[in-house]
Amino acid sequence: MEIVLDALLDTLKVFPFLFLIYVLIEILEHRTRLTQNRKILQGNLAPLIGAATGIIPQCGFSVMAAKLYDKNFIRTGTILAVFIATSDEAIILLLSDINAAHAVMPLVFIKLIYAVGVGYLANFVLPKNNLQEVAAHDVDAHFCCSEHEGGLLGEGSDFRTYFITPLLHSLKIAAYLLLVNLVFGYIIEIAGGVEDLASGAMAGGVYVQPLITGLIGLIPNCASSVIITGAYTNGAITFGSMVGGLCSNAGLGLVVLFKNTKSLKRNILLVVTLYVLAVIAGIIINAVAVAIGL
């Protein structure tokens, strides 16, 4: 019962911050439209802009980028930059936890630099295909995640857009977070404490963890980012392992890609590449941390 109460209290403490951040995201998403420039993801700055926008804590841009890529509107390096930069709910959860907020800036910096580097390298190495012209409806129709579908952008009132939608999204993430807190609460109890759990995780192989978190990150659901972030905040995995898992966490963008069965081989190769890149990032960060004694 004590574990249940602790998990519930930890979740309730985070919930107000979740709600406020989601309200802010809705305001930014609806009042500022980076996608108004429809050719912005086809120029020389495409990987940089794609990565910078993917950093924004929502899955809508990865969905939109996947749709554009599927229609040959953007290049492979650009879609990789967006996917690597995307962290779904992770940044929001870290910001909501006073003990983990310090990890936000390093996470954002590493993912942004890595995403841009991979994006430009892929576009340089891979043959340049003839991109099609982007139409306005191809960009805007898929900007938001499933929580925003059903005419919310066009028909919904401001109250629904800026209050009900963030509230429902916050409740959903809080439910996932509560489950994660319960699971790790029991694990910590069995392990004998946070310190013992962290020591066990480190001894269990900081070079193996990214292999697992990378796979979890590929799950096309916001629960995957909650699990990875929750594992980090509970001391079960290292910072590098969290980064690795979040580098493969492209959210619903992967679902959009695999709707096109005609390009199955291409999409599988893209996902395998994303996973390998995520694991490499996690292992390198863990190796550096071990080398400098962190």
pLDDT per residue of the chain (294 residues) written in tens, 0 to 9 = 776 777 677 677 767 766 776 677 677 666 555 544 456 666 788 899 889 888 877 666 787 788 888 878 888 999 999 999 988 788 888 888 888 889 999 999 999 999 999 999 998 988 766 565 555 445 444 444 444 444 434 445 777 777 888 788 778 777 876 776 677 667 656 645 544 554 455 445 678 889 988 988 888 777 788 888 988 888 888 899 999 999 998 877 888 888 777 788 889 999 999 999 999 999 999 999 888 877
Q: Where are the beta strands (DSSP E) in the chain?
A: none
Which distant-in-sequence residues (6+ apart) come within 8 Å of 36 by Cβ? none
What's the DSSP call for residue 57?
Answer: S
The residue type found at 272 is: V
- Crossing angle for the helix pair 264-291 and 104-125, nearest 10 degrees? 130
Amino acid type, 274? L
CB burial of residue 154 (10 Å; 0-12, 13-18, 19+): exposed
Length of the chain: 294
Note the pTM of the prediction, 2 decimals. Answer: 0.74
d(CA 83, CA 62): 6
Is residue 239 within 8 A of residue 284, CB to CB? The reply is no
Q: Please give the single-letter amino acid code of residue 185.
A: G
DSSP per residue over 20-75, as a string? HHHHHHHHHHHH--GGGSTTTTTSTTHHHHHHHHHTSSSSHHHHHHHHHHHTTSS-
Tokens of 229: 């972030």
Paired tokens of 136: 């306005």
CA 57 to CA 232: how far, in whole Å?
18
Q: What pLDDT is recorded for position 288?
A: 92
CA distance 167 to 210: 33
Q: How many CB atoms lie within 10 A of CB 8?
A: 13
Cα 152 → chain centroid: 23
- 220 φψ region: left (φ > 0), alpha (ψ -120 to 50), beta (else): beta
